[in-house]
Structure 1
């Protein structure tokens, strides 16, 4: 159902060709926002953009590219301003997971994970903030952390480190960005049933058993929280990280 809750809002969402990022874009567009939808996969970008525009009347602009590349990050910001007049929301959803035993983890893998998860998020926030300040109207930044940034998880030392870093980044940027009326928060999803995790045939059953509320999250569960944190309803919330895991982190049973 189309609404106008985000009328005149313009968002960039990275890593949004499917899963959580796609659902965030879809909900934003349905609620009146104009959206720059990014994914590194050009096919996913085109398909996702077309699907949203069919339902939301052309409010989505697809941009395939590497969300950790500084020149491409600036291109997304410039495109948002050129196509829609301004930028008001930046959601750094792009990230990669490279499982690996700590004792054999390679420098190449560590660099790739940190470049995308930390670097891409940091520099999207930086580029977006510069645009927000230029516009003099404030703005909202949202980082996509993870429950693994709170609780240890086997073979995810590097990934967990990057996700914990995003929580601290959200808190630290309060000092520098609050004078410009820019809010900065983070979401920390737990197990979520997406196209990627569904490739594991046991995923839903396993996490339904391990999650106190009886099922893994769906992308809509995460997207609804994301939209709240970048909405006018959350203008007094900044520097916070919200866990969405059906209670898993309270008891933390391992899937291994």
Structure 2
């Protein structure tokens, strides 16, 4: 996959899946704008990547649910690098909560980042890509819970299902400009956050047909394919990366 000389924005990339996507893109010669709401995480992540791939990663911390920040991030990226070829809307928040007592504050927070942030980042990116007249690739990060119900995740799950529908709808809007829009839906994945959970790896290994949860590299490889030129005739699609879990949908013992 040829990425050399391309320019990408990846949100929610201070660690975990987003970081690995940035690292792989930089490895292949992409200039990567790495976003995270946590400035320390973003700066440290960019520094690690630049130690390996000098000058390929720029930290741009900020709240990717804020439309003004999104527009400024896209504008600053283009000002610095003169183009924008790839955008991966990976930022998101998971808030567990019983449906009957879920608060409006929590609801607005999940919707604002997971849906609003992704929607308006795609909008800003598409406007720039349209102006460039060379096509582009947009990728959303969904989840297996957009396909399989899990207790206490009603609000989060509906955002993930909605992102997959958004990708389908944008096929109509953006295909005339040769912009692809796809979604990757990770299952259980070993990240800095999940490995802190007791028995996470053991439990998910037992209920995943392939015998283990995903590594961040599994998700990142799929993401890179979907934003590559090799996938330029794939749009409006979702690839689930879950080791077969959604085929059997066995819940962890802690989830009833």
With normalisation by structure 1, the TM-score equals 0.98
Give the structure 2 partner of residue 23 of structure 1: 20
Structure 1 residue 66 corresponds to structure 2 residue 63: yes
Aligned residues: 253
* Distance apart, 1:57 and its partner CA: 1.2
Give the structure 1 partner of residue 194 of structure 2: 197
Structure 1 residue 88 corresponds to structure 2 residue 85: yes
* Distance apart, 1:80 and its partner CA: 1.4
Structure 1 residue 50 corresponds to structure 2 residue 13: no
Deviations, residues 89-124 of structure 1 (Å, cap 9, x unaligned): 010000000000111100110000000000000000
| Structure 1 segment 171-210 matched on structure 2, within 5 A | 171-210=168-207
CA–CA distance in structure 1, aligned partners of residues 168 and 198 of structure 2 = 37
CA–CA distance in structure 2, aligned partners of residues 6 and 201 of structure 1 = 38
CA–CA distance in structure 2, aligned partners of residues 83 and 53 of structure 1 = 17
CA–CA distance in structure 1, aligned partners of residues 155 and 251 of structure 2 = 18
Structure 1 residue 236 corresponds to structure 2 residue 201: no
Asked if 1 retains the 8 angstrom alpha-carbon contact of 2:2 and 2:229, the reply is no
| Structure 1 segment 1-256 matched on structure 2, within 5 A | 5-255=2-252, 256=255
* Distance apart, 1:201 and its partner CA: 2.2
CA–CA distance in structure 2, aligned partners of residues 57 and 82 of structure 1 = 20
Deviating beyond 4 angstroms after TM superposition, the runs of 4 or more aligned structure 1 residues are none
Long gaps (5+) in structure 2: none
Q: RMSD across aligned C-alpha pairs, in angstroms? A: 0.8
Secondary structure, in 3 states, of the residue corresponding to 1:91?
A: strand
With normalisation by structure 2, the TM-score equals 0.98
Long gaps (5+) in structure 1: none
Deviations, residues 136-184 of structure 1 (Å, cap 9, x unaligned): 1110000000000000011100000000000000000000100000000
Secondary structure, in 3 states, of the residue corresponding to 2:123?
A: helix
Secondary structure, in 3 states, of the residue corresponding to 1:35?
A: strand
